[in-house]
A and B are shown apart, each in its own frame.
Chain A
């Protein structure tokens, strides 16, 4: 009986609590990329807006005047993307695309922790623009200039398509990035008549 009494006493002591616990989770991981048009319900990220998937594929294009064909003078391309404002805070970040031809590209990689790899922004293109007749223009003929209002330096470097997958930049964890890309046709070769098309696919990859 004495031993049993001791066991009960211990059990009571263990039942006493001298602290309470609040289990918490870490913040969620998130990845966001907008190229051209996007969809945001509720304003912007700064007004707790919620982004949605936007399947629109915007285009950049131009019609090369016959007299200018192959002159070596780059020709600016226009776009059907209407985006001027940043989805981050509705700041008018790009020049009006109707006159500038700029395409908005922005996003972020949100993740808890201070260590670990960054995300990567890349673009994949075919080696050529092709026409219905099977004629081609090397994709390297398409280049872009990167800028943004109030930007001290372009977030996405200016460059040209190389064909295949090329890395545009490393996206640091927990930082916003955005740029306005104005595309141009370098126009350094004579090409047969026709409409030449190709698709550039931008990808943001998290480790």
Chain B
């Protein structure tokens, strides 16, 4: 069994439905991530992570491995030019567990390719994205622009 390289946890005072929506709805992700996640979110479908610039630059791509709204979303996570097979791509799991008025959001990221710089980039990225997401859902205000 593989061992995740990173596990991030944040507790957010919201509902699983609102949090799920905040992960996928471009109107929400624009506010705290400055990127949009585009897909029909069906298992097996492609998804894309695009910047909110004029060209809608493609930054990441992958497939929806599992989608159980509003509890669990598993995506493969690769650079646009990555031609390796799906099973070699890094994998992100979002788990949403309601607990006493808050939702525990666990993000695990695993299966990195040994020669990729993705590990270093997400190490900086996830804590920023998750604290900004928490701030947006709890106070209505995201953190100042992340990137």
Q: Do A and B come from one complex?
A: no
